[in-house]
Amino acid sequence: MNTENAAPSLGFGDLREGSGYVSAGRTVTETDIQNFAGLSGDFNPLHTDEEWVRANTPYRGRIAHGLLVLAMSSGMRTPGYDDMDVRAYLSETRDMKAPTYPGDTITVVNTVSALRPSKSAQGHGIVTFTVEVTNQRGEVVQSGTDVLLIGPGSSRQPSPPS
């Protein structure tokens, strides 16, 4: 792999507790829910049967799979995580706080909540991010943590293409 033209990346030493970013919004669609049901094999009526949901649950209609929202929010972290020298994704936890309905627009807020230098690799460290996924009404629909191994990064300016 040619890294000659690689963009600079944030390393462990560049990160500060309390820093973070907010993603762009993403609207959850009926098609997203149908496709995820097919992909995962989870055809629970909570996600697939509007009439059943209205008759048997407190929800106003079908809801998105919690793991669908997790997967979407995981992808929405970029470009924030893409700007870092991520060496390994160590863990991810989520609590489902409120339902996400078709048509809801979710946003992800990631905040550095803990930094621990590596004992074995100089310049590397374990970073814990607090994650909140909110809908367009500002309600938290999921919350949790991501733990990543971050390398030393690169402050080298990229070379011009040849």
**96-125 pLDDT tens trace:** 999 999 999 999 999 999 999 999 989 999
List 148's β-bridge partners, or say none: 89, 127
Handedness of CA 59, 64, 66, 70 (dihedral sign): negative
Instruction: Kindly give the parts of the chain with pLDDT less than 50.
Output: 1-4, 156-162
Determine the pLDDT at residue 78: 61
Q: What is the CA radius of gyration of the chain?
A: 19
Determine the pLDDT at residue 29: 98
Domains of the chain plus CATH, in order, are 12-150 (3.10.129.10)
SS3 state of residue 107: strand
Of 110, 98, 112, 111, the C-alpha closest to 69 is: 98
d(CA 126, CA 148): 6
pTM given for the model: 0.84
Determine the pLDDT at residue 81: 74
Determine the pLDDT at residue 157: 43
Determine the pLDDT at residue 151: 94
Work out the mean pLDDT of the chain and round it to a whole number.
90
Determine the pLDDT at residue 158: 44
Length of the chain, in residues:
162
Determine contact, residues 137/61, Cβ cutoff 8 Å. no
Determine the pLDDT at residue 7: 61
Determine contact, residues 112/80, Cβ cutoff 8 Å. no
**48: which 2 tokens?**
């697939």
Determine contact, residues 32/105, Cβ cutoff 8 Å. no
